[in-house]
Amino acid sequence: MMNTFRQPRNFSLGVLCLWLFLSAATLHCQEAAPLTGEASAGPAAAQTTGAGSSTQRDVSLRQLPRNFVSDQKDLWFFPGKLAQGRHWLPTVAVVGATAGLLAADPHDVSHFRRTSNFHGFNRAFSGKITALEIGIVPASFYVLGLARKDSYAQKTALFAGEAVADSLVLYAVINAATRRFRPSDIAPQGPFNDTFFRAHNGVFNHSFPSGHTTAAFSVATVFAIRYRTHRWAPWVAYGVAGVIGFSRITLQSHFPADVFLGAALGYSISRFDVLRAY
């Protein structure tokens, strides 16, 4: 019985150790292969990238509040860009995929209620553990960057923190507005097709979208892009984020549609708002 209890705990501890190991490995590799336009250490000013039409965005502890306000302005004025005929294709793709998953949610959730294959996995990826896994990556990068005087790693960590803050604000507004039941809130026999605008689990404790997945993919996207010269970095970053998202389904905390939208929001905020020049 004791071994059964310790196994998921050891597995989650292993995930945290893997993140720390990869953080150190990436920092070591970064000195040998910095990205174009930004040095691995020392003061980093804004640099031009690509064809020279866009400028890399700078970040520091002092600049974070200003960057955050700018991000929020871009996020909430996004419908205006749609009205100008911009970004329609990706928007329609995300909305269409989310709608399709919403239609399938009543059928998907019953499978994870019947199976017992994920009990150990669920204990290893509880809400508190996954929140720690998400937060420890930028925190460890920032501390290691300070220790090694690596400004690139420090800025990467700050970008990741900025992305998490941006994504959680958007998540909170959508979550509070939609008030969707979590799968675990619904009786075993349903109904699973009438889940929106009915939950009263607190202001920000509803199902749509998944906050853990939004935060995980916002962090993963920052690291995948900033360290894209290392081929394994995107695979590891998105792989771990994907596992975290999947755990939200097996735990019956979220429907697949909630997880998909969370992943799309996290990626989009980091890719097109926080790291807008990459």
Return the higher-pLDDT residue of 245 and 38.
Answer: 245
| Percent of the chain with pLDDT strictly greater than 70 | 79
Helix 127-148, helix 151-178: angle, nearest 10: 160
Cα angle 237-23-232, degrees, rounded to a multiple of 5: 45
Look at the chain and report how many structural domains it folds into: 1
Give the pLDDT score at 114.
73
Let me know if residue 202 belongs to a domain. Answer: yes
pLDDT digits (tens, 9 = 90+) for 207-223: 999 999 999 999 999 99
Q: Is 58 helix (H, G, I), strand (E, B) or coil?
A: coil
Let me know if residue 48 belongs to a domain. Answer: no
In whole numbers, what is the pLDDT of the chain averaged over residues? 81
pLDDT digits (tens, 9 = 90+) for 156-177: 999 999 999 999 999 999 999 9
Let me know if residue 87 belongs to a domain. Answer: yes
Q: Is 55 helix (H, G, I), strand (E, B) or coil?
A: strand
Let me know if residue 240 belongs to a domain. Answer: yes
Q: Is 208 helix (H, G, I), strand (E, B) or coil?
A: coil
pLDDT higher than 90, residue 48: no
Let me know if residue 197 belongs to a domain. Answer: yes
Let me know if residue 10 belongs to a domain. Answer: no
Domain span including residue 229: 55-274
pLDDT higher than 80, residue 179: yes
Tokens read off for 125: 């990826």
Give the pLDDT score at 277.
66
What CATH number is given to the structural domain containing 240?
Answer: 1.20.144
Let me know if residue 49 belongs to a domain. Answer: no
pLDDT digits (tens, 9 = 90+) for 97-153: 999 999 998 888 777 777 777 877 878 888 888 999 899 999 999 999 999 999 999
Give the pLDDT score at 62.
94
pLDDT digits (tens, 9 = 90+) for 18-27: 444 444 444 4
pTM: 0.80
